[in-house]
Structure 1
């Protein structure tokens, strides 16, 4: 049975998608890596391909420009990728973007970055999948989380119910009796409470499963999602909005805190679901699933450094003060000055040591744009130690520190040389340190040593 047949049997509530006017056109797959670029001369499927005849595809390319850059070249299309991975369909092209780290190591890092349970706890039924995209890994993790919640039993809550009863329960609604002119039959309007599973948290969980079912084309994942959704048979579905997720997360208590990882995964899957396209008459989303690995990498490092720097601490995205200032009487229009926000500020107690930035791009292999160096140079000049660090993710075992001196006599202080340190973060090593280990104390010391090496100026 194909996925299309399964979906006819078990319809899923789909988010609004951009309707394709080229449904009869054959889709051509193009596979790239993150921070990659291909031209028509290197990929035969791009030769002679154009989007000029499809206004909807051209509108889509404008909407996703910061994620995937698609341009018309002399001989065909040119495609450039950034830190977003996944896939997206644009006109006749299905663009697949693979992360540099895949399988179990990537699953370990995703699990740790977003506070999900250890893979050892999830058991052998969880198989990290990358056949159709990173979203399959997230869906696998979501399945495992909701299976655990269902094993404990659906959380129930007392829900107010207003109805006419022959045997009154709760509070009799006297105002309704007066409004209808007295008691006209053998029932009385009452307000009472029933303990039920059909409340907002369970509605969001079930709707998240429906979203996951629409996102995967893997038959086994789809089957498991369907089975779990059937267990919520008494629960309504809702169109998932960020406001709903915020509301449910704010309302978590000691009894419902176990649902937090599942809500986090639903938020990630919802955020991957295409890019919004606004028109004068409607709003739709591009058909595809894109995940920002740069944001994920920053979150991963933030948690790792917070937990493993005993004598030091970090603050995320701390706005710098006093980096820029107008001269006296030099701001006639009263313009506000920018306040750069490095990804991390490193502190020893209350004393600022320096600034660090995180980029998922493999600088050892791909290099870095000049704008990054300018940015890190400003952070170095604003640091007490006149240094800044760029932490980048890599899978290259030979990657080493690179140090760039900012050479200008006016900028140099007595005995100091402003410097930018470009430092690799070995992703396989980090994943190994974060995996479950029987020798927990030894692994804890290795993690602390690795964390200190990342922030060493």
Structure 2
């Protein structure tokens, strides 16, 4: 019964059904692993470890502190979570090498050698000096404060989650190097938010590690309602759709030359309730595409990003309806779907949104389905060739946002 409830809670991320030929499992954009009763389900990413680590670093602004070689990375055997934990370990190892960030902690205590501010009021309340010590308030620079506590807790979460034995041992060793830093009983989203908000110029180097800890925490399971206190699924599910959207957003922001994009803009006034037929005063929905394309200040069109390989797996009808709305709302009457692909044969496709009557002369709107080669993108983001590949990155960014079907013969030339 618990397994069935868990399968229902996973619906939309991982579809588990009993079919005529046995158990049928379908994944959407999530990768990782999850335990449903005695069954362990593992979903691997499309990319090998090395290019995936590079894309993760770029998308989330992680420092390239070490090279995670494909031959050494545990992701091919154990999944994306071990790759993230490996990246976290590399980040924390660098922080420990530099020295943990310390903070002045206020302390009030009786001291034989007074320092700081002598608490005269407290001495008066005690009836004067009764011992060879004076009450003082002073500040001591310590590593035991909230930011370091979250970093240590994140390492310990990673150690519990890691399936690779060497990676688990490495995470435990790094955690022990935090010394007197207090262990948090549990690590919650509020703890990570508080540490993130408290970052300053002096502690900004901890930002990438906090980003990975947040990714691990958010993917550590799905809460579901069973009529009892909420519980978490035993597993790890990482949304590649969110990652892919963020990856493309940063790539386009960094490399578009003559244009710019805005992230998740609301298309207002596309829908509106009739003033004389809205008795409940409802607010009309405002669709939010992933990106809006601008040339100077002029809106040119809308784009969406999906991790699903449409070239190999076709286009879901509900996506086409959504993209058609974006096309009709666009000044160019074209919307573009950027989808992740590993196929070398993938090419642009165009779906025309026609008027369903034969006598209409209105030009059809268009939905362009455009593949984004993850392998090629990872090559262009090689940090060792960042300067030499700058022109190629700009060229690709400009090609991705073109609101028409690309001519691949011309691009190859």
Q: TM-score, normalised by structure 2?
A: 0.91
Partner of 1:271: 218
- Whether 1:155 and 2:101 are equivalent positions in the alignment is yes
Give the equivalent residue in structure 2 for 1:318. Answer: 265
Whole-Å separation in 1 of the counterparts to 2:333 and 2:357: 13
Q: How does 1:121-140 map to 2 (within 5 A)?
A: 121-123=65-67, 127-130=72-75, 131-140=77-86
Deviations 1:85-112 (A, max 9, x none): 0000001110011122222111111111
Q: 1:385 aligns with which of 299, 315, 332?
A: 332
Q: 1:4-403 alignment to 2 at 5 Å?
A: 55-74=1-20, 76-118=22-64, 121-123=65-67, 127-130=72-75, 131-177=77-123, 183-238=129-184, 239-403=186-350
Whether 2:379 is the aligned partner of 1:432: answer: yes
Report the secondary structure of 2:241's partner residue. helix
Contact 1:395/1:428, CA 8 A, preserved across alignment: yes
After TM superposition, the structure 1 stretch with the greater mean CA deviation from structure 2, 194-203 or 95-104, is 95-104
Give me the whole-angstrom Cα distance separating, in 2, the residues matched to 1:170 and 1:281: 52
User: 1:124/1:400 Cα in 2 relative to 1: closer, same or farther (>3 Å)?
Assistant: closer
1:112-155 deviations in Å (ceiling 9; x for gaps): 1111123xx41478943211110111111111111111111111
User: CA separation of 1:330/1:449 partners in 2, compared to 1, >3 Å: closer, same or farther?
Assistant: same
How far has the Cα of 1:398 moved from its partner? 0.3
Q: Go from structure 1 to structure 2 and tell me whether the alpha carbon gap of 1:338 and 1:416 turns closer, same or farther (over 3 Å shift).
A: same
State whether residues 50 and 68 of structure 2, in contact with CA within 8 Å, keep that contact through their aligned partners in structure 1: no
- Sort the Cα spacing of 1:276 and 1:124 in 2 relative to 1 into closer, same or farther, 3 A: closer
Change (3 A) 1:192 1:353: same
**SS across alignment from 1:277:** coil
Q: 1:186 to 1:290 in 2, by over 3 A?
A: same
2:388 equivalent in structure 1 = 442
8 A Cα contact 1:85 1:99, kept in partner:
yes
CA distance in 2: counterparts of 1:347 and 1:222, whole angstroms: 47
Secondary structure at the counterpart of residue 375 of structure 1: helix
For structure 2, the 5+ residue unaligned runs are: 404-413
| Offset of residue 164 of structure 1 | 2.7
Deviation at 1:416, TM superposition (A): 3.9
Q: CA RMSD for the aligned pairs?
A: 2.2
- Partners of 1:386 and 1:416 within 8 A in 2: no
Native 8 Å contact 1:308 1:451 kept in 2: yes
Q: Is the 8 A contact 2:49 2:69 kept in 1?
A: no
1:144-201 deviation per Cα after TM superposition (whole angstroms, max 9, x unaligned)? 1111111111111111112233333323344545555655544443321100110111
| Cα separation, partners in 2 of 1:413 and 1:220, compared to 1, 3 Å | farther
User: Hey, what's the Cα distance between the residues in 2 that align with 1:292 and 1:181?
Assistant: 64
Counterparts of 1:178 and 1:72, CA distance in 2: 78
Q: Is 1:380–1:388's contact at 8 Å kept on the other side of the alignment?
A: yes
- Conserved? CA contact 2:5–2:226, under 8 Å: no
Structure 1: 5+ residue stretches without partners: 1-54
Post-superposition Cα deviations, 1:52-74, rounded to whole Å, max 9, x if no partner, equal xxx22122122221211222335
Q: Distance in 2 between matches of 1:80 and 1:96?
A: 12
Q: Any conservation in 2 of the 1:412–1:418 contact (CA below 8 Å)?
A: no
Counterpart CA distance in 1 for 2:129 and 2:224 is 55
Q: Distance in 1 between matches of 2:209 and 2:402?
A: 36
Distance 1:417 1:87 in 2: 44
CA distance in 1, matches of 2:3, 2:101: 44
Do 1:437 and 1:443's aligned partners in 2 also have CA atoms closer than 8 Å?
no
Cα deviation, 1:205-233, whole Å, max 9, x if unaligned, reads 11111011011021111121122111101
